[in-house]
Every structure is written in C-alpha cells, then in structure tokens.
Amino acid sequence: MKKSKISSETTQSIYYAEDNTQCIITDTPDYSILKSLGIVKNASVKKVFTHKLGGPVLVRVGSREIAIGKDIAVRIMVGGK
Amino acid sequence: MASCHEVNEDAEIYKKENKILLMGNPNVGKSVFFSDMTGIHVISSNYAGTTVTYTEGTVKLGDQNYTLIDVPGTYSLEATSEAEAVAVRFMNSNPVAVICVLDATNLERNIKLGLEIQKFNIPIVYALNLVDVAKRHGYEINAGLLSKELGAPVIPTVAVKGEGIKDLKEALQKVLSQPKNICGSCASCPGCKENEMDVWDRAKEIAAKVQKQVNGELSFLDKLGSSMLKPWPGIPIALLVIILSIGVIVGFGKVLQDGILLPLVDGIIVPFFRKLFSLVIPEGVLLNVLIGEYGIFVIGFEWIITLILPYVFLFYVVFSFLEDSGILPRLSVLFDNIMRKFGVQGGSMITILMGYGCAVPAIIGSRTATTKKERLIIASVICFAVPCISQTGALISLFANFSPLLLVLMFLLSFAVMMTVSGILGRVLKGKVDPLVIEIPNLLMPNAKAYGKKLMLRMKNFLVDAEVPMLFSILVAALLKETGLLNYIAVYLEPIVSGWLGLPKEAVIALILGIIRREMAVAPLLEIEGLTALQAFVGGTVALLYLPCLSVFGILTKEFNSKVALAIACSTVINALLVAGLINQIAHMII
C-alpha cells in the first residue's frame, strides 16, 4: 500500500493520506450521499484511519465520524490544510 | 429500478388536512419525538434508516387535533433517493407546519436541510436535539441566535430523555396560530437570505456564528465509541459482544426453558388439558387430534411456549440493545472489508443480523440498500442460510440431546452457504453494489423507556404475526399424524427422506410443516425417538437451508415479485436436499 506525506503542494487520495491529519478536500466523486454528509470540495475534514484489507476509511467531519468504503474513498482527493 | 414497489404508501395520506411533518437528517431522533408526542410507539434505533417509510399519528395541540407524520430521514430535498422523494412529496402536500429536528453535533449539515425546507414557505419549528452530546464534544450552541438567523423558533431538546418536548409543543402551537404569511416580508427575514446564497455557504455561515467551542469532556462511552471503530481494540470488543450476545440468548434461553417453561407446560398445562378432554370426549381420532402425542393442545403448548418463545424474547432483548446503543454500525465498519470480498458491503450486516430474528423485517429493512442488486443478494442470503430465532431455538433443543458441537458445526455450515450464495450472486447478477458510506452514530446507553417499549412492540408483533401460521401448522401436524394420513404421503417421499437423507419416515412431517414455518421443520424431529446424531444433523441441515416460511414467501412477492419469490423458494429446497443428502451420504461412506 503506498503511503506518502500530505504537503500543501500535492494532492492525494484520502484513502492513502496519513492518519490523524486535518486536510482539505480538493475533489470528490459525484455521489449525493457524500455531499449530504459534508464531504464537499474545500471542506476541512480529519482523516482518522484506513482499515486494512480493502476496508473503509474513517473521516471526521465536525464531531461526527463517517466511514467511507474503499471504492469511493480512493477517489476523494485531499491536500494539506 | 422499480422504486414504486419499495414504499407502500397510501395516496390518501397526502390529501389529509392539518398535517404536521417531522423532518430531519437520518438518525437525529425523529422517531423518538414521534413516540413522545403521539404516544404511538414506532421502532427507533441508533442508526440511520430505521424509518424506511412514513408513520402517522395524532397529536393534540390546544384543542385542535393534527396528524403528525414521521417522514423518513433525509440529508437533502433533492429527491435522489426513494426516502428523499417521499419527503419532497410530503412537503408538496400542503402541510400546516414542519418540525425540523436538528442534530446539534453536526449543525452545518442539518441547517442546510433546514434551509431547503424553508424554501417551501411552511411554518417551521426547529428542535435542536442532542445538545448534551454536542456539549461533551466541545460545542455549545446559542439557540437564541440560531433562532434569529433562521427566523423561526429553535427549541433545545434531549429527546431520549423527554427534555424540551413541552416547549416544542408550545412553540408549535404558536407558529400555527400566527398568520400564514410569515415569509411575506423577506427583507427583514434572515431565513430568506438563502434565496440568493448557496444553501451550503449560508449553512456554514450560520453554524460558525452560533457555535462556540467550549471545553467538552468526552465521556467513557464517547471514547469507547471511537476506539471501537479501529481493529484494535474494535475487533476483540466486537467478538466479545457477539459471543456475549449468543451466550445470553442460548444460555438464558435454556434456563428459562428448563427451569420455568418446561415444568409449567409438561407439569401443569398439558396434563390439565389431557384430563379435561378425556373426561368430555370419547376415545378416538378426535381425542387424539386434541391431546394425542401430536395433539393440538400438546404440541401447541410444547412447541410454541417452551421451544420458541424464550429464544425469541431473548433475541429481541439482545438485538434491541445492540440497535439502540449504536454498536451495529460499528460492526459494519469493522467487517466491511470481509463483506466486500463476498460482493456486499458492511452496511448489509445490520440487515442480515436482523434476519437472525426474523426474515420478514429483515427483507423489508433491506430497502436501505441503495441498489437492487444488493437488496436481492441480502434477501437471498437471508432466505438460504440465516436461521430465524424460532428455528434456532428449535435447533438448540434438538442438538442439546447430542452435543453443542453440532450447533457450532451448523452455524459454520450456515456461514459457508451464505458466503457461497452472496459470492455467486455478486458475480451473476447484473448491476452494482454501492460501497459503504455511513455516518457513525454516538455510542450511548439505551433509554430504558424507549427500549422497553420497543421490546414490547416486537414481542407483540411476533405473537400476532406468528401465532396464526404456527397454530395452522400445528393443526396440520396433528391431522397428518393422528389421522394416519401421514403414512399415505410418506410412501411417496420415502426415497428422498429415508433413502437419500437417511431419516426416519416421520421426518416427512418436518418437510411438510417447514413450508409453513421454519421452526416447524425442526420441531417434529424432536418427537422422533432413537434419532442418531447424524440424523439430527442432517435433519437440522434440511431445516436450516430449506425454503423460508410462507410469510417470507409473501414478503418476497411484495417487495420484489412472484418470480423472485418462486426462484428463491425452488432453489432453497433443491439446495437443502442436496447439501443435507450429501452430508448423509459422505458420512455413511466414512463411517
């Protein structure tokens, strides 16, 4: 599994972003449920953890935790805050 | 997608006068408000999507009666899902007022929905729910300021504790008595600003204004809730929860059964009826049908009260707790990676677990699946290999005479079939399964009152829904056995039952009754004397994999169509006879 540090210049998938970091969403796939949950472009979210073996990624938006399955999560791009 | 089949709604409801809508995001406590305000108890749980269709009730404000409607939770009014479409239809059906429940722990998103609702120009009252949880997370919300920003009353509430309900009713009465054109003077109304602004931006702006960071202290449950989302310590905790749940159901079930119910039924109730009927009715077929070995008044009590009831009760004791506490969505997250390998996603786990209680609500609950393919996979898995609790109860009693190991083996077999079925259907069926996207609810201790009511409602539903088919199958059993009719039928089924499956010919009753109810495919085996461990296991396998009961057939027809129902019924029967027969044949080769 590739893993790299978030820097303000590069963007990467939230799935591979470092755990426990605050990041800004730069791009998301077009799913209405993501939009509804506050996973929208320019939103500041905290990447909490990625589950192993193709499991979901945990993201904190405000004080709520959201789990996003791998297939969608890899397409959510984030940059540093 | 045949979405028109999925919500059974009555067109009349939209025409009703004096409707008040209860709206909000999923899992913000709308159903709890509904129960508190109407006194009607609907099943509420601590995860999104419990209300897949609306519920209506009457609420009295002053001396006027209103119809309160618990609208399915939605994140927006864009009508992108069936639940949202229902919500939009309600908004357009001329309601007199809306109660919009806001989740204080996620204000921005909730205000956004509120602003969307405001566009319909209907009098609105906001209930700011979960204020206690928000505070622990370090957020304090200025309700007065929020009310000013939204241009409508905002009442802070803690619905599970009943706090703020009275104030909410008063505020509602007030807006209802006001002249309708509150939105006429838009210039002064801050709620109307969103007409020019994007709702998200406006929601963000309001949330930032009214929210204040305070020093919150996360409770033990908040921390536990977060830690349960990671494999360590999440998975050990999850396994502990599962083992404990099974332990409570099986262990206490056995205690209830052997300690209380069995002595009551075999010692008092059955002998009473035996005595009564033998005094009044002369010996013969009629007397046998009533109180013979398979008499209605014998197995009617033995099977229903001692075999099934304790397990059904305990299953719902445990399951309702898991639902209300917020543990289930955490299990979905932890096991999503495994479920994904079998063509479904973690969220389906809640529905499948529900199937261990009864397949009917589970199949209805599968409406929360976002694609038809996923629904079909879940429904098939439940029909093929998930034993309902009544059947599990009967299986426990059956295997208790041999070894608990058989029960473990049976569950392993069930998992293997589940995985095979979902794996095959995942590949064969057209369409796709959407990946998991869920909001994790707060972990909380269930509210005793709401929990108790839910348990009672579930037991009542079980007794009402299961009683008639159970009594019917008992009547069929009694007639088949006590009139000797069974021997005629047995001749035709003998090659399958005795030859292929290696079961005694009385087991034919199980195959016939199993069509009506699942546990009845097991119960007759208990009455057969001299059953070997292998025969018990083979009989149990047939019962487990055999076609779901008549009610399930009905619900499959209703939720999908008769073709799906028939396909599932036929393939389960073939699968059951095939697998059980193979077990029997292979075991004989080895032994």
Render pLDDT for B526-575 as a digit per residue (tens, 0 to 9): 888 889 999 999 999 999 999 888 888 888 988 899 999 999 999 999 99
Chain A environment of B345 (Cβ under 8 Å): 69
> Which residue on chain B is closest to A48 by alpha carbon?
B230
**Number of neighbours of residue B563 by Cβ within 10 angstroms:** 10
Chain center to CA of B282: 47
CB pairs under 8 A between A and B: 103
Minimum-distance CB partner of B436 among A34, A52, A56: A56
Nearest CA in chain B to A44: B204
The CA distance from A25 to A72, in Å, is: 14
Q: CB B76 to CB A35 under 8 A?
A: yes
- Which residues does residue B158 pair with via DSSP β-bridges, in sequence order? B163
Confidence of residue B195 (pLDDT cuts 50, 70, 90): low
Q: What is the mean pLDDT of residues A16-23?
A: 91
| Mean pLDDT of all residues in B474-501 | 85
Containing B55, the helix (H) or strand (E) segment is strand B55-61
| C-alpha radius of gyration, chain A, whole number | 11
State the pLDDT confidence band at B452, using cuts at 50, 70 and 90. confident
In this structure, the number of other CB atoms found within 10 A of the CB of residue B267 comes to 10
Alpha-carbon distance of A29 to A44, in angstroms, equals 16
Closest CA to B393 of B242, B253, B552: B253
Q: Is B218 exposed, middle or buried (0-12, 13-18, 19+ CB in 10 A)?
A: middle
Query: What ipTM does this complex have?
Result: 0.86
Q: How far is A69 from chain B (nearest CA, A)?
A: 4
Instruction: Report the gap between the CA of A63 and the closest CA in chain B (Å).
Output: 6
pLDDT, averaged across chain B: 86
pLDDT digits (tens, 9 = 90+) for B109-122: 899 899 999 888 89
Kindly tell me if the per-residue pLDDT of B46 is higher than 60: yes
For B336-394, the pLDDT digits (tens) are 999 888 888 888 888 999 899 888 888 888 887 878 899 999 999 999 999 999 899 99
Question: Distances in Å between the alpha carbon of B199 and those of A32, B206, B319?
Answer: 15, 10, 39
What is the per-residue pLDDT for B74?
84
Question: What local confidence, expressed as pLDDT, does residue B293 receive?
Answer: 80
Q: Which residue of A has its CA nearest to B345?
A: A69
Q: Which of A39-48, B239-248, B565-574 has the lowest mean pLDDT?
A: A39-48
> Looking at residue B192, what is its pLDDT?
52
pLDDT at residue number B2:
33
The alpha helices in B281-403, defined as continuous H runs, are 285-291, 296-301, 309-325, 327-334, 336-341, 348-355, 359-365, 372-385, 389-400
Residue B389's closest CA among B493, B517, B289, B216? B517
Contact list in A for residue B438 (CB cut-off 8 A) is 66-67
To the nearest 10°, report the CA torsion of B163, B114, A48, B137. Answer: -30
pLDDT at position B69 over 80? yes
Mutate to test the interface with A, among B439, B440, B442, B443 (most CBs of A within 10 A): B439
> CA–CA distance from B248 to each of B73, B311, B354 (Å)?
33, 10, 17
**B215 token code pair:** 């020093």
B299-352 pLDDT, tens digit per residue, is 888 888 888 888 889 999 999 899 888 899 999 999 999 988 888 888 888 899
Query: Is the pLDDT score of A5 beyond 60?
Result: no
For residues A42 and A53, the answer to whether their CB atoms sit within 8 Å is no
Q: CB burial class (10 A; 0-12, 13-18, 19+) of residue B258?
A: middle
Interface contact A66-B438, CB threshold 8 A: yes
Q: For B9-26, how does the pLDDT look when each residue is reduced to its tens digit (9 = 90+)?
A: 556 777 778 899 999 988
Contacts of A65 in chain B (CB under 8 A): 226, 229, 439-440
Which range has the worst mean pLDDT, B3-7, B454-458, B468-472?
B3-7
pTM over the 0.90 mark: no
Map residue B490 onto helix, strand or coil: helix
Q: Which of B75, B108, B229 sits opposite A62 (nearest CB)?
A: B108
Q: Are residues B336 and A40, on separate chains, in Cβ contact within 8 Å?
A: no
Q: Which residue has the tokens 């499956």?
A: B501
Please answer yes or no on whether B435 and A72 come within 8 Å at the CB atom. Answer: yes
